[in-house]
Structure 1
Amino acid sequence: MEEDPGFELLKKIITENTGFNCEYYKEAHFRRRINVRVRATNSESYGAYLKILKKDPREYGYLVETLTVNVSEFFRNPETFRIIEKEIIPSIVKHRSESLIQSIRIWSAGCAAGEEAYSLAILLHRVLKKDFNKYRIRIIGTDIDAQSLEKARKGIYSENSLKNVDAGTKNQYFLKQGEVYQVIDQLRNITHFKHHDLISGPTINHFDIIICRNAMIYFKKEIQEQLQFNFYQALEKGGFFVIGKAETLLGTAPDLFKPYNTRERLYIKEISRDIYGRNQKSHEFK
């Protein structure tokens, strides 16, 4: 399949029919993911797989689900979340309590089924305690996978997703329903999930924390650079940026973000000047 001339045509057809832009992704990663469906359908070539796509449009749904990497769990990399709870959120709360606008905005970019976004909601409630309702809190989770977003909105998870959650947290923030757990309404009310393409979607702004972990690594280097600059622009001054353990700052990003905890890939936006400005359409999710 590696030398199959149908590969380029397949990428073109996928982009035209799903909006998933194959050219943004590293080719080795893209081939690995697409080969999962080629094998699953017993196709002998990319050309043969193309025929299946034309014959059964439902295959596009399975394909997009395979192409979008959706591995997540509550409090994945617990040490990262410990620092967010003990240091970052208190810093933001202190800053906001001294300002006219007592609001907190967090973006979970590439949110998969919502575990990361709800983990952040739990931490905010733990830190704010009785002051939780005094703040206008909005956590936005975005992804391009419709099935993952639907699961996130329901907020229902298996025991395996909660393996990093202690019993006390489960009892306080989840309702047990048979073998599954549902996030309580108080947290679901502040957590909103939207379809959004990180690369071609409208820019969104005014965030105190942006977390984008283990999503950029699959993109080509120049795309990663553009995304990191976009995240810089989307943060408020003094806002925090969190990336995956295997990811690094590229291009202009090392000049834009000051390291806060490099081992956990936590950075802070300190620079107030808005360099390399882009004339992009700005959009704020409501």
Structure 2
Amino acid sequence: MQKKDADYEMLKKLIHQKLGFNCEQYKDSHFKRRIDVRLRATNSKTYGEYVACLQTDRNEFPELMETLTVNVTNFFRNPEVYDVIEKQVLPAIIKAKSTGLRSIRIWSAGCSIGVEAYSIAMLLKHLLGDDFKRYSIKITGTDIDKESLARAQRGVYSRMEVKDVRPAFLNKFFTKEGNDYVINDELKKITQFKKQDLISGPKMSGFDAVFCRNVTIYFEKELQEKLYMDFYNALSKDGFFVMGKTETLLGPSKDTFKPFNSKERIYQK
């Protein structure tokens, strides 16, 4: 093995040890692109130099984690998807739950700073109106990045992050504090955020909808196939799966999910 390759392997091992981040499942090209951002930032010419930097500068690991998990995120991203969710997906779930326990369970996988989970929470509150309290609603956001999860729990967002929130929702569901917008307690009560590795973490189940958008694009094909079946198994009967616009069902999941709205990448169990 050439020294460059050995250094790269050493770097991946170090990241796994220190950050619990499984580099092996990511496409090499994507992974290297993210790593190169930190090489440039630390003036490291090689992977070996960057390993040395990580071993001497304890502030570099958080920076690296941020770079590895960063994604552009704001409320109601891809409004056309949320339009179908508001007008068709959530009403179907609510209708199916209108008797009995009235329990609604939704999973936002790879939730980052929580904007997707809270976007869904706003729509549910809006659709249910006065009936909201008659339902037991739990929206679970999971991610591997502790910083993002802490932000999701705080529920404090910038003007840029709330730019696509409709004005009525902004007035109703947020409190303005200085330049920040804070999610109200009613929505915080129905959301929970926890650390979960989609790849090696425990399997989850019992959901009426699973959202995993623009997360699997970074994974190798075999892993994507496995994850899509994990999501299938995480759903209750007739549950919905919402994926990213650039993602496609692969392997067995192609035949097990039925299309609900293929254009917006929404499928049903």
Question: 2:254 maps to what in 1?
Answer: 254
Q: CA deviation at 1:224?
A: 0.5
What are the residue-to-residue correspondences of 1:65-104 with 2, within 5 Å? 65-98=66-99, 100-104=100-104
Q: Distance in 1 between matches of 2:239 and 2:195?
A: 23
Question: 1:12 maps to what in 2?
Answer: 13
Q: Do structure 1's residue 204 and structure 2's residue 207 form an aligned pair?
A: no
Q: CA deviation at 1:247?
A: 0.1
Question: 1:125 maps to what in 2?
Answer: 125
CA deviation map 1:125-178 (0-9, x unaligned) = 011000000010000001111111111001011111111112211101100111
Letter of the 1:224 counterpart: Q
Question: 1:49 maps to what in 2?
Answer: 50
What are the residue-to-residue correspondences of 1:1-286 with 2, within 5 Å? 5-98=6-99, 100-269=100-269
Tell whether the 8 Å contact from 1:260 to 1:268 is kept in structure 2 after alignment: yes
Q: Distance in 1 between matches of 2:42 and 2:163?
A: 33
| SS at 2:140 equivalent | strand
Q: Distance in 2 between matches of 1:167 and 1:234?
A: 34
| SS at 1:71 equivalent | coil
CA deviation map 1:240-281 (0-9, x unaligned) = 000000000001001110001111000000xxxxxxxxxxxx
CA deviation map 1:79-110 (0-9, x unaligned) = 11111111111111111113x22100000000
Letter of the 1:20 counterpart: F
| SS at 2:232 equivalent | helix
Letter of the 1:104 counterpart: I
Tell whether the 8 Å contact from 1:4 to 1:45 is kept in structure 2 after alignment: no
Q: Among all aligned residue pairs of Structure 1 and Structure 2, give the percentage whose two residues are the same amino acid.
A: 54
Q: Distance in 2 between matches of 1:141 and 1:71?
A: 17
| SS at 1:162 equivalent | coil
| SS at 2:64 equivalent | helix
| SS at 1:161 equivalent | coil
Q: CA deviation at 1:69?
A: 2.9
Q: CA deviation at 1:5?
A: 4.2
Tell whether the 8 Å contact from 1:71 to 1:112 is kept in structure 2 after alignment: no
Tell whether the 8 Å contact from 1:175 to 1:184 is kept in structure 2 after alignment: yes
Q: Structure 1 length as normaliser, TM-score?
A: 0.91
Between the two proteins, the alignment pairs up a number of residues equal to: 267
CA deviation map 1:180-212 (0-9, x unaligned) = 100110001101110100010001110001000
Letter of the 1:34 counterpart: I
- Give the superposed CA RMSD: 1.2
Q: Distance in 2 between matches of 1:107 and 1:72?
A: 17
What runs of 5+ residues in structure 1 fail to find an aligned partner? 270-286
Letter of the 2:244 counterpart: G
Letter of the 1:29 counterpart: H
Question: 1:283 maps to what in 2?
Answer: none
